[in-house]
Structure 1
Amino acid sequence: MRSLALSRRSISALLLGSATLRGSLLGERRRGDCAGSFRRAWNGRPGDPRGGRACKSSGRDAPRRAGRPWRGVLCGADSKLLPAGLGRGGFHDSRGAGGGPSDRRRGGRAVKVHRIARPDLRLWEALVAASPNASFFLTPEFAQIAEAAYRTPTELFAFECEDGVRVLLPARRIASGRFRTYVAPGGGLPGGFLSDAALDPGRSAAVLQALAKIHDAAFRLTLDPREDLRLPPAAERSLRKDRVFVLDLGRGFVRIEQECFEKDFRRGCRRAARRGVSVSLERGQGAFQAFARLHAAGSRAWDAQSQQPSALFSACAAQAAAPAAPLELVLARDSAGTPVAGILGVRRGDTWTVWLAAMDRRARLLLPSTAAYGFAVERACAAGASSMVLGASGGIASVEAFKRSLGAQPVEFDLHVEVRGTLREGLRRVRAFGRWVHGVARRTRGQCAASPGGPGLGGVS
């Protein structure tokens, strides 16, 4: 008698809707193949995606068919391939959106997901080298800083597309109770994906759909403001717009100073110089400690949530001391040599990114921030950068006006993405339904109660 025990692959196929079973139930395969689909799901063997009965060569150890080469990119004991039905999901249509189910089945590209708890730097550095203009906050250097500052190691989620394209998402797991929550890179910093090929909206959506197959996890991603992926809406993810200011440096510093800088900004730079403010590029440990004190004081004055641990600046100072380091600290000092403003920036590829900025509010009449930003723009142009990312304004009108005075243009699109697994999305819907029921109960409370006079006309029963 056949045992009634189901393997993990069988449960995934039956409960989570494998492609073979779903295609048979929806009538996408030829008539008479439904029984074979149930038999393949029960025995735990994946069926032929083209339809037809499963054969012995379609087992787990059988060689893959010609024309569908999977490109192995991961190895080692730390690599975990997520099980079928949980980790394999999402299809990329190379011809773009608009095709029907049959077009999607013929032109789709399956995505497989690997989770690497302790990453191997060889794969990571290979994809970083393949993306010279990728964000610094996706590199192993930033992962070392984040682990030293926040005590959260970085895990890699690697995606293998059937056409050989490799996509990598470095993410940090934060403490969130029973479920797993990842941030990439966190803090509203520009991130995105590492890939050895261009990411179009279709492939990006397929990667996010495969990420949502991790049922008990949620991912909070911040995309690169230089790439508008135009992600389509989906039930398992939420999109939030944000406005980021980007300054075009292609015309050179002389023309930027004459054509882009507003009159008040140029006047502020001259006033700061007359009042004894000097700006320089510094890399010493003492300079980073002084900038840490400036940032802590400014965070207490503006927003306590923006405070950063002191270990962050120590880790940045250790990396900035290395030759050809991408981290650059622009520090403005008054006539007495006291640091009064600073900008921590990152130069990588063709982009100079403002990471953190701080100013001593007691010295604001010296206009040190104006002088520091003017020096940073000149430094970025001298380094050969073609764009400067100034970050978001946080909804503060004065900060937005200051960034516009440099000639920066706002870029607004769906920058923040939250991807939820099937279990997390189900819990979110249950909680939303509970809040809706509670709101309806509060609105209808007392409408069906008796009149103050009691039952009957005029309170007489």
Structure 2
Amino acid sequence: MNPREPKLSFQAQLQTGSPEDWESLWKADPHAVFFQHPAWASALTAAFPKWSLHSVVLTQEGEPVGLLPYFEFKKLGARQIVSLPFGTYGGPVQKPLPEDFAGAAAEAMVSCLANEASRLARFEMTVGPTSNAKQAALLQHFGNHQEPAHTHLIDLSQGFDHLWNKAYDKETRTCVRKAEREGVTVSVERGGAALDELHRLYLIQSQAWGTAPLDREVLGRVMDTLGERASLWIAKRQGQTYVGVLTLTDGEKEIIPWVSGTDPEGRRFRASHILYNAMIEDACNRGYASMNFGSSAGNPGIEAFKVSFGAERTELLKFSFEAAWLSKARRLKGALRGGR
């Protein structure tokens, strides 16, 4: 090694709370997304005050060069950690480093987390498209606990006209025009009444999809904490709300439809089509690079809807393990609920 090159000396240690260099590290990492931003951690802390935020902080000769944030909480009496909850993905954030050093940096962070996770009853982490160095370190330590995961991404970089003419399928364009003729309008709203409408529709949709909804209070705290980073999109016809979507954004790179709800009656007017079309056009005008449309929960109809707007399925790295006794306790709890 050339003596003038920086020494390969990384130190990883656990830290409680939000590291002060988090945002600067996030901005430096070309692969970082909103769910790895400190604003998202702040929103989760406000929504779930009993949860504890921690990070693996990586330094090189005293200077922060990376971190891996996660939340720790207890359920059924068991310590559990997730990086990061209720988002598409979490995982490490790292400054660009020379290739020879990047692998050692990622290894130091991931091995520190793996050591901590080995003491817990449950661990979960989902990582999006990332560098080869991070991927190699993650697979080395957690590869035995990998499971399938994906999201859908829309590339906004070529602008709305390109998406409308080249990426949307013909039927989607027809549906948007039908919604316009039917008098469906789209607006961005704030306030308790709009949130009430979203949550009402969200409960209807969650029941239809068989998913567990978040409380209205949780959604409200997330919106209040994120401020302008959170927007509530509403589609109405003749004063009736048919679709609501809560979006999140880092204000620079991407927009994420995070929570949504739909009245089945709105399908007749193609209310969802016109709402997402307006959202995508607005995101393009703001210069965002992508829209993270999320996974499809194994539902072919949902996936087809997302693909019709030009979304591409993107595979993720998901790692999860759970102690046998906790799995048994969770199944028992579910059975007891089902028997009520």
Q: Same fold (TM over 0.5)?
A: yes
Q: Which residue of 1 aligns with 2:216?
A: 310
Q: Which residue of 1 aligns with 2:188?
A: 281
Supply the distance in 2 between the matched residues of 1:410 and 1:206 (Cα, whole angstroms).
31
Shift of 1:338: 1.9
2:40 maps to a residue whose letter is F
Q: Does the 8 A contact of 2:43 with 2:222 survive in 1?
A: yes
Q: After superposition, give the CA deviation of every residue in 1:21-47 in whole Å (9 maximum; x if it has no partner).
A: xxxxxxxxxxxxxxxxxxxxxxxxxxx
Aligned CA-pair RMSD: 3.1
1:240 maps to a residue whose letter is E
Q: Which residue of 2 aligns with 1:195?
A: 94
Q: In the alignment, does 2:268 pair up with 1:365? A: yes
After the TM superposition, which residues 153-232 of structure 1 pair with which residues of structure 2 at under 5 Å, given as runs? Answer: 153-162=51-60, 164=63, 166-177=65-76, 179-197=78-96, 200=102, 203-214=105-116, 215-217=118-120, 218-225=122-129, 229-231=134-136
Supply the distance in 2 between the matched residues of 1:346 and 1:271 (Cα, whole angstroms).
28
Q: For structure 2, which runs of at least 5 residues remain unmatched after alignment?
A: 328-340
Shift of 1:68: 12
Shift of 1:245: 1.1
Shift of 1:167: 2.0
Q: Which residue of 1 aligns with 2:310?
A: 407
Supply the distance in 2 between the matched residues of 1:408 and 1:219 (Cα, whole angstroms).
30
Which structure dedicates a bigger proportion of its chain to helix? 2
Q: Are residues 140 and 337 of structure 1, via their aligned partners in 2, closer, same or farther at CA, if it must alter by over 3 Å? A: same
2:149 maps to a residue whose letter is D
Q: Which has the higher contact order (CA 8 A, sep 6+)?
A: 2
Q: Are residues 201 and 356 of structure 1, via their aligned partners in 2, closer, same or farther at CA, if it must alter by over 3 Å? A: farther
Give the count of matched residue pairs.
314
Say which SS state the counterpart of residue 190 (structure 1) adopts.
Answer: coil
Q: Are residues 127 and 158 of structure 1, via their aligned partners in 2, closer, same or farther at CA, if it must alter by over 3 Å? A: same
Q: Does the 8 A contact of 1:247 with 1:407 survive in 2?
A: yes
Say which SS state the counterpart of residue 115 (structure 2) adopts.
Answer: coil
Q: For structure 1, which runs of at least 5 residues remain unmatched after alignment?
A: 1-65, 70-106, 432-461
Say which SS state the counterpart of residue 391 (structure 1) adopts.
Answer: coil
Query: Does 190-199 or 166-175 show the bigger shift?
Result: 190-199
1:242 maps to a residue whose letter is A
Q: Which residue of 2 aligns with 1:234?
A: 140
Q: Which residue of 2 aligns with 1:147?
A: 45
Shift of 1:109: 4.9
Q: Are residues 254 and 126 of structure 1, via their aligned partners in 2, closer, same or farther at CA, if it must alter by over 3 Å? A: closer
Q: After superposition, give the CA deviation of every residue in 1:296-343 in whole Å (9 maximum; x if it has no partner).
A: 1211221142x01111221134246x4xx2112221111x22221122
Say which SS state the counterpart of residue 191 (structure 1) adopts.
Answer: coil
Q: Are residues 405 and 68 of structure 1, via their aligned partners in 2, closer, same or farther at CA, if it must alter by over 3 Å? A: closer
Q: After superposition, give the CA deviation of every residue in 1:391-412 in whole Å (9 maximum; x if it has no partner).
A: 1111111011111111111112
Supply the distance in 1 between the matched residues of 2:52 and 2:166 (Cα, whole angstroms).
43
Supply the distance in 1 between the matched residues of 2:159 and 2:216 (Cα, whole angstroms).
36
Q: In the alignment, does 2:241 pair up with 1:342? A: no
Supply the distance in 2 between the matched residues of 1:239 and 1:206 (Cα, whole angstroms).
20
- Counterpart among 130, 134, 153 of residue 246 in structure 1: 153
Which structure dedicates a bigger proportion of its chain to strand? 2
Supply the distance in 2 between the matched residues of 1:110 and 1:132 (Cα, whole angstroms).
21
Say which SS state the counterpart of residue 231 (structure 1) adopts.
Answer: helix
Q: Does the 8 A contact of 2:23 with 2:38 survive in 1?
A: yes
- Once the two structures are aligned, what percentage of the paired residues are identical? 25
Q: Are residues 67 and 174 of structure 1, via their aligned partners in 2, closer, same or farther at CA, if it must alter by over 3 Å? A: farther
Q: In the alignment, does 2:153 pair up with 1:259? A: no
Shift of 1:294: 1.1
- Taking structure 1 as the reference length, what is the TM-score of the superposition? 0.61
Supply the distance in 1 between the matched residues of 2:18 and 2:152 (Cα, whole angstroms).
35
